[in-house]
Amino acid sequence: MADADPAEPLAMSRLMAELQQSNPQLAMLAQLMQARTIVAEPVSPDLSDEVVRLAEQLAAAEAKIDAMKRQARRLVGNYHAACDRLADLAAALGACGLCWGEDSGCPSCRGRGRPGMVRPDPEIRARLLGPPRPRAGSAEHSAAPCRPPREMNDAQSL
Ligand SMILES: [Zn+2]
């Protein structure tokens, strides 16, 4: 019911100052007792050990974060390199570089961009796949190497 006297902290500090003059050890004890009432949680007896331990944990966590950032940058770089290679391969095969003909909603090809659907880029094709092979129907392919030998033997025996 009774409000705290606003002059009380002032009176207390004056009392402490007087005590400091007359009996410094008792003043220190009084200050410690006052401090104990303010601090709610018990304080670790050796704070420096705790601080060192937390600083080590912080340093380890920061090192882990740095390593993860480096790994993430590497992964993003690899992802972009793979996308570039895939786009080059699509151009070499005449496919849509966005979806390879697998997305009917593709803004580039509307799902019609399978390999061979457009003229391949000759430079990229030569770089990735080497010089163009002779086309089917040329002299090299007329021997039909896929035919089983037995069939050929049967034909000779007739
Ligand atoms: Zn597409």
110: CA distance to ligand 1 center in Å? 6
The residues, any chain, with a CB within 8 Å of residue 102's CB and separated by 6 or more, are: 111
* Helical pair 8-22 and 24-38, crossing angle rounded to 10 deg: 140
* Ligand 1 centroid, distance to 114 Cα (angstroms): 8
The tens-digit pLDDT sequence of the chain (158 residues) is 445 455 566 777 777 788 788 888 887 877 777 776 665 666 666 788 889 999 999 999 999 999 999 999 999 999 999 999 999 999 999 999 999 999 999 999 999 999 999 999 999 999 998 887 777 665 444 333 334 444 444 444 44
What is the CA(113)–ligand 1 centre distance, in A?
A: 5
> Ligand 1 centre and the CA of 105: distance in Å?
8
Amino acid at 41: E
Report the separation in Å between the CA atom of 101 and the middle of ligand 1, taken as the mean of its atom positions. Answer: 5
Tokens linked to 24: 């410094």
What are the tokens at 1?
A: 């019911």
The number of C-alpha atoms within 13 Å of 39 and in the hemisphere containing its C-beta is: 10
DSSP state of 132: P
